Chains A and B, each alone.
Chain A
């Protein structure tokens, strides 16, 4: 199996290395509490805490690259929103602070998503899934999905090579833009056929191996390291501080 993110993850390690469960928990905290708070002080505390987590978990170079990409995309989105604001003048916000709040929520989410996405390894993901007590009916397809994605990406690569060979010398961008049906026929149809065949073969292999929704995939015990516990504790303190700030400034 190709561990497609391992190269990236090796180059993106930060000061501490947290478990996959801790990263998921922090992402969950960020998505819930950034929605609950709607004042600038609480969101500023959460933003600061998420930035600290980001710096601890990810290398500075990676952070800078991701932030440049994010700033570029956010800039385009803000420009479009600004233009739409002129068209729909009744929908403009009342104050610059209010305009800042959605951006702060987005930044909190981005800060927690970067370590999760950059440091994710397929093997770690599978181990962490085994540790979570998900029902078998969800766990089996989810494990298959995670394991199959690299194979599927390899299939895509092979199809691209086949198309290059078949349409040698005339496979430019506009060639495909003006022929969407041809793209559908030479790229998408073989892909679906490949998917159906893989599904049949893998299903047969799984049944022969005796896999089913009640198969125990070996539940490992979930152990949080010192760093994990410390980061979760700091996250909880930050949330409490955000609640206090909201009540104090209200």
Chain B
């Protein structure tokens, strides 16, 4: 494999898988944006709902493209989009990619996403935890002179992770239903 082939990711993903990852990243970002706008910004209900929808979509994506690297690519695309559109935390992107990739490699080591449908849920739960941990680190750098603001950030992160857990449960039932309907293999 040449360097150019490796750089372009040839052989890692098929075209239809890349399209699916792109569409789900768009769906996750757009629904988060709509919920934030309709819900009136940073209130606990909006944060829980936003995270729930996001994680449920990720579970469905992993059921549709059960490959190592899917979640990393989806998160990377989402983060790059957030940076391009809103200038959000460019600094967190490398750490986010490494964190998610490590989680995916761990899942691969214990059998891979194909082994059990529950592994998709485990992957999302672990990677979201790692991402939130990294975001807390970046937030600490921002507010290091006034640490009580970090307490606010921790509260926000806790609410959003609660939403992730709700979304994982919803995603599990949704995946089952979609498999039953023949929309997922």
- What residues of chain A lie closer than 8 Å to B31, measured between beta carbons? 152, 156, 191
Secondary structure dominating the interface of A: helix
Assess whether B144 is interfacial by the CB under 8 Å rule: yes
Asked if A191 and B27 sit within 8 Å, CB to CB, the answer is yes
Contact B87 A31 (CB under 8 A): yes
CB–CB A137/B12 < 8 A: yes
Given A138-B76, A196-B183, A203-B15, A213:B152 Cβ within 8 A: no
Give the chain B neighbours of A192 by CB distance below 8 A: 56-57, 60, 174, 178
Judge whether B143 is part of the interface by a CB distance below 8 angstroms: yes
Report the Cα distance A30→B149, complex, angstroms: 21
Alpha-carbon separation in the docked complex, A32 to B7 (Å) = 26
Cβ contact within 8 Å between B19 and A35: no
Tell me the nearest residue of chain B to A104, going by C-beta.
Answer: B145
CA distance A48 to B42 in the complex (A): 28
A135 engages B151 (CB within 8 Å): no
Binds A, one of B78-86, B106-114, B118-126: B78-86
Query: Once the chains bind, are B91 and A207 in contact (CB under 8 Å)?
Result: no
Contacts of A138 in B (CB 8 A): 9, 73, 76-77, 80
Given contacts A85-B148, A101-B145, contact A213 B41 (CB under 8 A): no
- Which of A27, A28, A80, A211 makes the CB contact (< 8 A) with B152? A80
A contact residues, total (Cβ < 8 Å): 71
Are B13 and A116 touching (Cβ within 8 A)? no
A-B contact count (CB 8 A): 201
Cα distance A119–B25 when bound, in Å? 23
* A242 interfacial contact with B, CB 8 Å: no
Contact indicator A203/B81 (Cβ below 8 Å)? no
Q: A80-B152, A206-B15, A213-B8 are in contact. Are A195 and B142 (CB under 8 A)?
A: no
Measured in the bound complex, the distance between the Cα atoms of B27 and A195 in whole Å is 7
- Complex contact A109–B184 (CB within 8 A): no
1-59 of chain B: CB within 8 A of chain A? 5, 7-10, 12-13, 15-27, 29-31, 34, 41-42, 53, 56-57
A56-105 at interface with B (beta carbon < 8 Å)? 73, 77, 80-81, 84-85, 88, 91-93, 98-99, 101-102, 105
CB-defined contacts of A129 to chain B, threshold 8 Å: 84
The interface residues of chain B lying within 8 Å CB-to-CB of A84 are 148, 151-152
Q: Are A148 and B23 in contact (CB-based, < 8 A)?
A: yes
A143 interface contact, C-beta 8 A: yes
Q: Find A203's partner among B8, B19, B146 (CB 8 Å cutoff).
A: B19
Closest to B89 in A: A31
Asked if A186 CB lies within 8 Å of chain B CBs, one says no
Within 8 A of B (CB), among A173-217: 184, 188-189, 191-193, 195-200, 202-204, 206-207, 211-214
Task: Return chain A residues, CB-CB under 8 Å to B26.
Answer: 144-146, 148-149, 152
Proximity bits, A115-150, B CB within 8 Å = 1, else 0: 011001000010011000001111011111110110
Interface bits A211-226 vs B (CB < 8 Å: 1, else 0): 1111000000000000
Q: How far is the CA of A141 from the CA of B29 in the complex (A)?
A: 13
Asked if A18 is an interface residue, CB under 8 A from chain B, the answer is no
Complex interface: chain B residues within 8 A of A93 (CB): 145-148
Complex contact A143–B22 (CB within 8 A) = yes
Q: Does A113 contact B (CB under 8 A)?
A: yes
Q: Is A106 an interface residue (CB 8 A)?
A: yes
Contact B13 A137 (CB under 8 A): yes
10 further A-B contacts with Cβ under 8 Å, apart from A24-B83, A184-B170, are A73-B41, A88-B151, A140-B19, A144-B23, A192-B57, A195-B60, A196-B60, A199-B24, A213-B9, A214-B8
